[in-house]
Chain A
Amino acid sequence: MNKGAKRTLLALALQLAALAVLGLAVRGTSWLDARSKPRLLVLVDRSQSMPRADTDSTLAEVVRAAHAAGVGEVRSLEFAGRPAQAAAAQTGDTDALQPAATDIEAALDAALAAHAQAALDSVVVVSDGFENKGDAARALRAVREARLPLQWLALGRPPPPARIVEVLAPDRAQLGPGLQITVQLAGQLERPLRVKATLRSAGGDTATASTVTAGAARVMLALDARRIGAAVVDVALEDAATGATLDALPDAAVIDLSPRAAVLYASGSRPGPLARSLIDGGWALKLIPAAQLEAQTDGLDAYRAVVLDDVAVSDASPRLWNALVAAVKDRGTGLLVLGGERSFARGGYRASSLESVLPVLSEPAALDQPASVVFAVDKSGSMGRGSGGVDRFALAQRAVLETARSLTERDALGLVVFDVVPRVLVPLGPAAAGTLALARDWQAQPQGGTKLAPALDLAIAELESSRAARRLLVVVTDGFVDEAPLAELRARLDRARIETVALAVGPDADVGALERLVGAGTGQVLRVNQAAELPSVMRAGLERQRSRVERGRITVVQSLALPFSPGMLQGWPEVSAHAVTRSRPEALVAVQSERGEPLIAWQQSGRGHVLVVTCGLGPWAPQWLRWRQWPPLAGGLVNWVSGTPAGQAVGLTVTDLPAGLLVDADIAAGALGAGPGDVTITVDTPTSAGQVLATDRVAPGRLRATLPDAGAGLYTFMLSTAHGSQRQLHLRRQRAENAAWGINPAVASWRAAGLAGEWQPGLLARRRDDDGQRAPDRALIGLGLVLFLAGVLLDRVPLERAKVSAALRRWRTRA
């Protein structure tokens, strides 16, 4: 082969090489041109939870690994509470990034924006994964949709040498010392460590407890709970020698603190079966006789509910009743009123402040029946002005007059005064005329002894002439009843259907004789220790006597679900009596007599739940106590009025989401009326109070609401339905950036879900398939050009070996 052919062959080989190189360039092969090499963006977490030095070295390592893997361009973007601008190098200025927070979502969004401007081949995130802003998972899904490979290089601070692992606390507790919490520690625990716990109430009160330990992994602390309501527990771990804080866990737990006695139970007679059941059921009960109710006037706020078991209004002063009404209406104290001989109309509830919050009015139908009332007033000498200056007879006159004024136009009245001889001062006649007569001078002076029998004979005779539906005899005496044929008189009273109210005035009154006269059935004996009370006692006594208590075998009918679970009970036993009342229009009557008179009724009075049982839960309903439904009935009644959850009837579930809270309310089928309109959910957030949530009925018995994030702290939810309410505390925790360490477990879950990959430097060299959008590798084009030109040169410039050798020799010689 001649030289020309050889040269041409070499030139041909060079051109073929150029062809191959340019072919690679057209195909998109990357070689030396950075533009055609994989592009990498490194997101660097610069929040306070990240170790600065380790982060720097890790970033440097990532850059080295990327370059070693053939990545052309490595850009870094620092972020914390917000992302910085993408930069080819670290900025070092972290303050502008809000390092006290971490918003991974914002950083990933910034990466996507950069990717949209100039395609990236992969993203590496250097972070511990702890976030307190945004929703990293959502952004990771967007990155996956964008088909942008993402590797997560998890890096976090090492845990402190000694640390708090967990805090265990009760979710509910009663006020007082000895509220126990347990702090679980880990790490190097050999040296003396101080564990300090602080109980913070909403009102700003704090209680602190601390203990020094060495070597113990579990430490118990006792706190002094002094304020009702939600309280948040903060825990800190300190070096006992230096006082330096080693670890802290703010918002470790929330505890709902309630009064030591959650229910105040006032009993007008012996404590009833309900009280015993509640005590047996573990209720925190403060049990007092009705006479001591007055002493609770200033302490009602300490109770979630008050139970009045056969309590009369006269058992306490108006101040107590006003305080109770205010507690119910304004502060949501529950009220359960149980019927009995001393309650409702008989207890003087009519027109009282107590009645203003009750779902029933103490207005029995019997009050509308016309009655004939004869007053028999003792005018013996002892009724006159005594040594104390009290004129009992004058007070008796006033009492009769005031009582007469309470009678209606359909009533009739008469007056008999007596000492040893009785005398009709006002014959039985229309009440209006009789009242006018009573208002005039009685023409009687207290003198002489006391003989009851003739007076009663005269009064009975007067009443027997009456056609009124009811006949009532009011006897006022302060003397000793002797020689009176009590049994005979009582029989005569019974035959004439006369109901007797006897007022025994002063300490000398023969109460025993009067009780034998009146008997236990239809009448009553009222003691009047202070003569000044005589007008009010007489009036109330007559009113109570006129009010009716339905007696007999009374069939019980349930017409409406009770406001607690189970709403409907089967097989209600009969009751033997109940106070006859009339329900308010706004009240709900679940259980009633066959005649339609309320037995169990309730209403919401202001913020409080009020429920009445007119037949009581005692002697008038003996069969109820043996009924198999007694436990749920007794517990449910008190549960409902005290506003505590009734088992699973109402459930409120609060779930933390990155963007807020998801609230699910489960309403049992029996307790659910319809939908959102029947149920309200209000919430107090760390930044607002009384916010009402819009609910959506997403499933049978399930209402759902969402609450935008209002920051870390205590959220108090109140779910209210017509059947009850439930309070739920929720502590939204965000551990401070400077208190976080380790890796967020969520990183592992993101990896498991395919949202993030493990750190694999070898994968960084992979170019993302971006549909040929990249420019060809300029280095390859240049190489192709060089090869081509070399071929041309070789073809055009004959290089003979001798000439070349000579030229080299000449060059060497010159050199």
Chain B
Amino acid sequence: MLSFATPLWLVGLALLPVLRWLHRGGQHRRSVPVSRLGLWRAAAARPPAAGARQPPDPAWRRRALLAALLFVALAGPQWPARHEPVTLWVDDSLSMLTREAQGTRLAIGMAQARTLLAGSAPADVEVRALSQPWQRFDSASDANAATLAASAGRRPAQPPPAALLRRDRRHWLLTDGAHAAPVDWPGALQPDRRIQVGGTVRNVGLERLSARRQLADAGQADLLLRVSNGGTAAETRTVVISGAAGEVVRRVLQLAPAGSALVNAVAPLAADVRATLQPADALPEDDAITLSLAPLRKRRVATDSTCPAALMAAVQAHPALALAPANATDVQAVLDCGALGAARELPTLRLWAERTPAPARGAVQWSSAVEGSRRIRLDAEWLWLAARLQAGVADTVLLAAGDEPLIVSRAGTPKRLETGLDFAAMGSARRAELPLLVNLMFDQLLGSRLLEELALVDRGPASSWIAPATRAASAAARTPTADRHGDLRFTRDATQPLLAAALLVLLWEIAALCRQWLRLRGPAQAGAE
């Protein structure tokens, strides 16, 4: 039933009789032909009662219609929706890309959803992916399905946020049921309609490929591949890992249902590595995985040639650092011992040497800015200083011995670390702390853990699961979101169509006025001639 948001505006409809009155017929519409104007005064017009009253100008109907449309539009008409608005929640887990006979689960599901939506002809459909619930698509079209498929599996599918489970909408779920999260809706709710797709239950997938730089040989990377059987039957697969120089590992794996295996390999650190499963299966997207080893490549450090040899040697020997000429441009950091001149817009480690080296005094103290796990055991007696640093209020003293700052992180960008440590003196002791200290400084400078860096592609622990799980018991205890609607009516704002109609009528009115103006303008022009 029609309702109004602000029905008070309907009072304006009372003006319609006035409009009619304005268009009334009668005396004022009659013409009285006379031969002379002087006779006008003597002319005796018949009173209105003397004859039949003329009908009102038919234009009043058009105008009354237009006024009525606008008054009703102002009242905010709400039409009862013939079909309820629907939010289609799409499980965009990787398993939704599993190939069934008619296509991917996602494509099949979206087609089913379209059919169902077309059958019920909902007025308002929005589509939301469970991995990105706050992003809204306006239909279940092929284009949107393709967009969802392109991003499927990139982020874990989560239950819909409670804030988006609006009571004034129906909530449908498209899923294959392979994962628990998409069906575990908040507040023990369950979808008003669940579109379940998928029948394939066999799949083996590459779950994770990771790499670390070998500390002993910085040109090599240790690889670890995790392969999982996400199906319901035992499977045999051949895993092939390839690097820049070709195949590095080929191994045949026997995997029990829900089982997994780890494969180790070593590959050159030069390029990407790729792992594949043979033969491919119903979910080819998880049968290959490519890992970029770029994060493990060495950082080039533009180095001042006047730096102490021990420091240069430590940087050179660092698995994640490489020395570069002072004027090199493709560098990530600068090591400046005073001969580089103007500062560059790069993270810079500045060594100061302004006095005769002397051993540090006092206990080694750390700033809380240096995480406990990054701290190294330092013997204050081993530390020699060639400069005394002054720390400003905004600077951070990362390391101190007694009251003397040893390493200071200057405020501002790019990052700048300064130290007064004398690496020439400390290097003569040939202690293991020196390379660790250099590593610590470059860790702080570059904001990373150089020795612990990983290259990682992780699809998640259940990424290869494609078989639907049984959830009848949990579903029984859940409340359909439809039950929450109660007597809530789904309505639809009808202002826009009314305004559109009003515009058409107004155009008609304008056309009529144009004709009228032309008609009235014609006799006047004739008289003037």
Q: Which residues of A contact B (CB under 8 A)?
A: 1-2, 4-5, 8-9, 11-12, 15-16, 18-19, 22-23, 25-26, 109, 112-113, 115-117, 142-143, 145-147, 165-173, 179-182, 184, 186, 217-218, 220, 252-254, 282, 647-648, 651-655, 664, 666, 669, 675, 697-702, 728-731, 733, 771, 775-776, 778, 781-782, 784-785, 788-789, 791-793, 795-797
> Which of chain B's residues has its CB closest to A14's CB?
B513
Contact across chains for B372 and A654 when beta carbons are under 8 A apart: yes
Beyond A5-B524, A8-B520, A282-B379, is A792–B224 a contact (Cβ under 8 Å)? no
- B67 within 8 A of partner (CB): yes
B444 CB, nearest partner CB in chain A, Å = 15
- B150 within 8 A of partner (CB): no
Contacts of A18 in B (CB 8 A): 506
Interface segment, B94-102, B307-315, B389-397? B389-397
Contacts of A697 in B (CB 8 A): 224, 262
Q: Which of B6, B67, B402 contacts A785 (CB 8 A)?
A: B67
- B495 within 8 A of partner (CB): yes
Contact across chains for B74 and A782 when beta carbons are under 8 A apart: yes
Kindly name the residue among A2, A109, A664 whose own CB sees the greatest number of chain B CB atoms within 10 A. A2
Contacts of A793 in B (CB 8 A): 22
Q: Which of A12, A169, A647, A778 contacts B513 (CB 8 A)?
A: A12
Cα distance A664–B456 in the bound complex, in angstroms: 14
Q: In chain B between 246 and 264, which residues have their CB closer than 8 angstroms to a CB of chain A?
A: 262, 264
Contact across chains for B393 and A186 when beta carbons are under 8 A apart: yes
> Which of chain B's residues has its CB closest to A218's CB?
B403
Contact across chains for A168 and B400 when beta carbons are under 8 A apart: yes
Q: Which of B138, B391, B521 contacts A1 (CB 8 A)?
A: B521
Q: In chain B between 208 and 235, which residues have their CB closer than 8 angstroms to a CB of chain A?
A: 208, 210-212, 222-224
> Which of chain B's residues has its CB closest to A798's CB?
B28
B513 CB, nearest partner CB in chain A, Å = 4
Kindly name the residue among B449, B499, B524 whose own CB sees the greatest number of chain A CB atoms within 10 A. B499
Q: Which of B132, B163, B454 contacts A702 (CB 8 A)?
A: B454
Contact across chains for A166 and B138 when beta carbons are under 8 A apart: no
Contact across chains for A180 and B513 when beta carbons are under 8 A apart: no
Cα distance A220–B402 in the bound complex, in angstroms: 8
Contacts of B377 in A (CB 8 A): 172
> Which of chain A's residues has its CB closest to B502's CB?
A22
Contact across chains for A733 and B506 when beta carbons are under 8 A apart: no
- B507 within 8 A of partner (CB): yes
Q: Which of A2, A25, A180 contacts B363 (CB 8 A)?
A: A180
Q: Which of B222, B224, B371, B458 contacts A654 (CB 8 A)?
A: B371
Contacts of A664 in B (CB 8 A): 452
Contacts of A112 in B (CB 8 A): 134, 161, 163
Contacts of B211 in A (CB 8 A): 699-700
Contact across chains for B397 and A166 when beta carbons are under 8 A apart: yes
Q: Which of B70, B222, B517 contacts A788 (CB 8 A)?
A: B70
Contact across chains for A651 and B373 when beta carbons are under 8 A apart: yes
| Apart from A5-B520, A699-B210, 14 more pairs, CB < 8 Å | A11-B513, A12-B510, A165-B393, A171-B372, A653-B449, A698-B458, A700-B210, A729-B372, A730-B372, A778-B74, A778-B76, A784-B502, A791-B513, A796-B23
B517 CB, nearest partner CB in chain A, Å = 4
Contact across chains for A253 and B368 when beta carbons are under 8 A apart: yes
Contact across chains for A26 and B500 when beta carbons are under 8 A apart: yes
A301 CB, nearest partner CB in chain B, Å = 23
B390 CB, nearest partner CB in chain A, Å = 10
Q: In chain B between 357 and 387, which residues have their CB closer than 8 angstroms to a CB of chain A?
A: 362-369, 371-375, 377, 379
B296 CB, nearest partner CB in chain A, Å = 11
Contact across chains for A19 and B210 when beta carbons are under 8 A apart: no
- B503 within 8 A of partner (CB): yes
A291 CB, nearest partner CB in chain B, Å = 33
A-B contact count (CB 8 A): 211
Contact across chains for B373 and A184 when beta carbons are under 8 A apart: no
Cα distance A778–B400 in the bound complex, in angstroms: 69
Contact across chains for A171 and B22 when beta carbons are under 8 A apart: no
Q: Mark B49-79, 1 if CB is under 8 A from A, else 0.
A: 0000000000000010011001101101000
Beyond A180-B365, A654-B372, A788-B67, is A698–B454 a contact (Cβ under 8 Å)? yes
Q: Which of B19, B23, B432, B503 contacts A22 (CB 8 A)?
A: B503
Cα distance A172–B376 in the bound complex, in angstroms: 10
Contacts of A788 in B (CB 8 A): 63, 66-67, 70, 506, 509
Q: Which of A171, A669, A791 contacts B366 (CB 8 A)?
A: A171
Contact across chains for B506 and A15 when beta carbons are under 8 A apart: yes
Contact across chains for B365 and A26 when beta carbons are under 8 A apart: no
26 A-B interface contacts by CB (under 8 A): A8-B513, A8-B517, A11-B513, A15-B510, A19-B507, A26-B499, A116-B166, A142-B161, A143-B134, A146-B134, A146-B135, A171-B366, A180-B362, A218-B403, A254-B372, A654-B372, A698-B208, A700-B223, A701-B212, A701-B222, A729-B372, A771-B138, A776-B73, A788-B506, A792-B19, A792-B63
Beyond A167-B368, A180-B402, is A116–B74 a contact (Cβ under 8 Å)? no
B406 CB, nearest partner CB in chain A, Å = 10
Contacts of A170 in B (CB 8 A): 363-366
Cα distance A173–B500 in the bound complex, in angstroms: 82
Cα distance A26–B74 in the bound complex, in angstroms: 13
Q: In chain B between 434 and 461, which residues have their CB closer than 8 angstroms to a CB of chain A?
A: 449, 451-452, 454, 456, 458
Q: Mark B279-313, 1 if CB is under 8 A from A, else 0.
A: 00000000000000000000000000000000000
Q: In chain B between 314 and 367, which residues have their CB closer than 8 angstroms to a CB of chain A?
A: 362-367
Cα distance A177–B117 in the bound complex, in angstroms: 78
Q: In chain B between 270 and 286, which residues have their CB closer than 8 angstroms to a CB of chain A?
A: none
Q: Mark B480-506, 1 if CB is under 8 A from A, else 0.
A: 000000000000010110011011001
Contact across chains for B367 and A166 when beta carbons are under 8 A apart: yes
Cα distance A7–B158 in the bound complex, in angstroms: 67
Cα distance A85–B452 in the bound complex, in angstroms: 46
- B162 within 8 A of partner (CB): yes
B292 CB, nearest partner CB in chain A, Å = 14
Contact across chains for A8 and B262 when beta carbons are under 8 A apart: no
Cα distance A143–B211 in the bound complex, in angstroms: 34
- B244 within 8 A of partner (CB): no
Contacts of A654 in B (CB 8 A): 371-373
> Which of chain A's residues has its CB closest to B164's CB?
A116
Cα distance A698–B212 in the bound complex, in angstroms: 10
> Which of chain A's residues has its CB closest to B24's CB?
A796
Cα distance A25–B517 in the bound complex, in angstroms: 28
- B119 within 8 A of partner (CB): no
Contact across chains for B366 and A785 when beta carbons are under 8 A apart: no
B482 CB, nearest partner CB in chain A, Å = 18
> Which of chain B's residues has its CB closest to A770's CB?
B136
Contacts of A648 in B (CB 8 A): 451
Beyond A112-B163, A172-B377, is A166–B452 a contact (Cβ under 8 Å)? no
> Which of chain A's residues has its CB closest to B165's CB?
A116
Cα distance A730–B372 in the bound complex, in angstroms: 7
- B523 within 8 A of partner (CB): yes
> Which of chain B's residues has its CB closest to A652's CB?
B373
Cα distance A785–B75 in the bound complex, in angstroms: 13
Cα distance A651–B436 in the bound complex, in angstroms: 13
Contact across chains for A702 and B22 when beta carbons are under 8 A apart: no
Contact across chains for B70 and A784 when beta carbons are under 8 A apart: yes
Contacts of A169 in B (CB 8 A): 365-366
- B516 within 8 A of partner (CB): yes
Contact across chains for B372 and A109 when beta carbons are under 8 A apart: no
Contact across chains for A781 and B163 when beta carbons are under 8 A apart: no
Beyond A647-B432, A698-B454, A776-B495, is A168–B366 a contact (Cβ under 8 Å)? yes
Closest CB pairs A-B (n = 6): A113-B163, A146-B134, A700-B222, A699-B210, A145-B134, A168-B365
Cα distance A524–B305 in the bound complex, in angstroms: 67
Contact across chains for B212 and A781 when beta carbons are under 8 A apart: no
Contacts of B509 in A (CB 8 A): 15, 788
Cα distance A331–B521 in the bound complex, in angstroms: 113
Cα distance A789–B63 in the bound complex, in angstroms: 9
Q: Mark B1-26, 1 if CB is under 8 A from A, else 0.
A: 00001100000100100010011000
Contacts of A179 in B (CB 8 A): 363
